[in-house]
Structure 1
Amino acid sequence: MAKNRKNNRDKAKETNWQERVIQIRRVSKVVKGGKKLSFRAVVIIGNEKGQVGVGVGKAGDVIGAVRKGVADGKKQLVDVSITKSSSITHITKGVAGGARVIVRPAAPGTGVIAGGAVRTVLELAGLKNILAKQLGSNNPLNNARAAVDALEGLRTLSEVAQERDVPLEHLYA
């Protein structure tokens, strides 16, 4: 009986994660007998409460690739500090490969103004009012990783006060 309750709790923890596949690509590898075909899936996973990750999985079938991508995404999770207005604390930039992303806070009621994979990352992180711009590459994987990099660089006022060894009230002055 107690074992069943534990399994139900584990399932409840699993269900609050949302996953979105942003790209599925058929890739091939040349081997001695010819070409070996497999699938690469880029998956974004988040709980809409401040945690988000990007994962990549490769397998012989699409379902297996997505499953591996979800597992990889859970390993790559980052925590995002979200303000009361469902935005971020300050402007930040992220880079991954040739992709650069600029993310800015927005006023309540603005919504998510971003494109492609960046939009998916921000939505699954739980941000509701935010502006973002992709610069450079159009590669969905690099843009998603750049968005995660930008979110990872966010700091709260209390973190800044602690780093500077000043009281939190001193930053507001």
Structure 2
Amino acid sequence: MSKIDAEELSLNDKLIYINRVTKVVKGGKRMAFSALVVTGDGAGHVGVGLGKAKEVPVAIAKASATAKKNLIKVDMKGTTIHHEIRVRFGGAEVFLKPAAPGTGIIAGGSVRAVMETAGVKDVLTKSLGSANKTNVARATVSALSQIKDPKIAIARRRGPATGEVVNG
């Protein structure tokens, strides 16, 4: 899978979650923050990133930079996805199903944020297993990266003799 150049796209960041974490040391507690950000252009590009720092704005900036490095291209069929898919990431499992135009995004939490920034308008989803926002977001991005156009996938398996399917 090739990486996408983030400078060419007009990306929008969406903050999913900020977590305050503490480290207990000899002198007391050290506070820090972790931020989960999803970035995308609303036209098929999406990435998710996690940033950690002593201050919230720095953590968000780091998460945004990581999300831009991890951009993927989503293969869509109009305003929805091509086929059903079920993906696990850690303890989180995400099920995505194509929907008819006008259905909207039937999702919650991290899945909704990823779908909106990716530009998917009509989809049915179900989040199973762990509700960990980071793992759910990463499972969603992983699922979107695995979705392929069936016609192109079949043409690639058959070989160069069926080039008209790819071009048509």
Structure 2 residue corresponding to 1:158, chosen from 136, 149, 152: 152
Runs of 4+ in 1 over 6 A off after TM superposition: 168-171
1:37 positional shift: 0.8
Do 1:134 and 1:143's aligned partners in 2 also have CA atoms closer than 8 Å? yes
> Does residue 1:19 correspond to 2:13, yes or no?
yes
Do 1:158 and 1:168's aligned partners in 2 also have CA atoms closer than 8 Å? no
**Higher Rg:** 1
> Does residue 1:91 correspond to 2:69, yes or no?
no
1:1-173 matched pairs, under 5 angstroms: 13=8, 16-84=10-78, 86-156=79-149, 157-165=151-159, 167=162
Do 1:80 and 1:125's aligned partners in 2 also have CA atoms closer than 8 Å? yes
1:40-86 deviation per Cα after TM superposition (whole angstroms, max 9, x unaligned): 001111111111111000111110000000001111111101112x1
Percent of aligned pairs with the same residue?
45
5+ long unaligned stretches in structure 2: 1-6
* One-letter identity of the residue aligned with 1:95: R
1:125-161 deviation per Cα after TM superposition (whole angstroms, max 9, x unaligned): 0000111110011111111111111101111121331
What's the RMSD between the two structures over aligned residues? 1.9
For these two proteins, the number of residue pairs brought into alignment is 158
5+ long unaligned stretches in structure 1: 1-11
* One-letter identity of the residue aligned with 1:92: I
TM-score (norm 2): 0.87
Aligned to 1:90, the other structure's residue is in SS state coil
